[in-house]
Structure 1
Amino acid sequence: MTPASYGWGQIYKVIDGENGVVFTDKPSVMDNSSNQSVEEVELKETNTAAPLQVRPPSTANSNSSRESQAVENPTVKILSPPNESTVAMGPGNFSVSASANPALSAGERLILLIDGVAQGEPQSSGTWFIEGALRGPHDLVVQRTTTRGRMIAASDPVKIYVLRPSIR
């Protein structure tokens, strides 16, 4: 391509008697004395590349990939009681609440373990009421299981402290 095809005119390099260099598109403006040299400048073709075609991620694909990740990685979280909490002085009664993400599918159940011992049968609800817990520290874990009892996921353990009066 020539400079004219880019919309440019011809470019000239003018060197004056003191070796000063000027680039111009009008060499006639310069003094035509013998102390100057004028050369036409041949411009090389500019390096260009077509822009890359970038497609934005499809929202349908991102939603389905999120859903498939959720199905691949089910989780369980104990919402209450908070970790390192204390069950106040009394009979040792407290409630446990847990959530499953994604929601339990048909045949999945939750089971509460206190110090590794299951509290009742697996259930579809994420709430339990515990009565008469023994005094001292206890670790709570909720497991997500299949109907056959295979564990799919387990919550992080939550430690609680039960305060109960003791006879001395």
Structure 2
Amino acid sequence: EEEEEEVGEEEADDFIWQWKKGKSWVTFSDEDIETLEKMWKMVDGEGSFTATLDSEGASIPFNTNLKSMMQTNMSTNKRRRVQRIVRPPPRATWQFLTDDDEWEDYEEEDADILEGSHETCAELRTKVFSFNKGYNSVYLIRFDEMTQKNMDSGTVRKLRRIPPGEEPPAL
């Protein structure tokens, strides 16, 4: 017998909660997301609820209004915008081999460039890596060889892509 899957049934793992800090969104801790999801379900996604959340190391009661998607710190009365969004799919990790023979992660914006190019290009020439700001060097990425070459200095580094959800291979 085949098991029927509930259509439209959302798992708590499908969503993340974030709060607005300046112009950026900060993702709540996994523990706080679990608490917020539990409360969300208790009130059927309507109205408001109060839950104790971690706030920079302290446990603080926050009231969350689901209509305005505003959260009020019950100790200070300070308010902040919150959002509940679909959890983004896991991402591949891009790394390069340092001079010390250790693998180091690329910055997210650089990993996005590599991820967007690796399936469609055999090689990529670019100046737009975050670590290249102010230097303007051309980098040649050879996806068939998995290397990064600084065309000014001639320095070649190995790079690797770790698929989403996988552990990096041992050195």
Shorter chain as normaliser: what TM range? under 0.3
Structure number with higher helix proportion: 2
Which structure has more relative contact order (CA 8 Å, sep 6+)? It is 1
State which structure, 1 or 2, has the greater radius of gyration over its C-alpha atoms: 1
TM value normalised by structure 2: 0.20
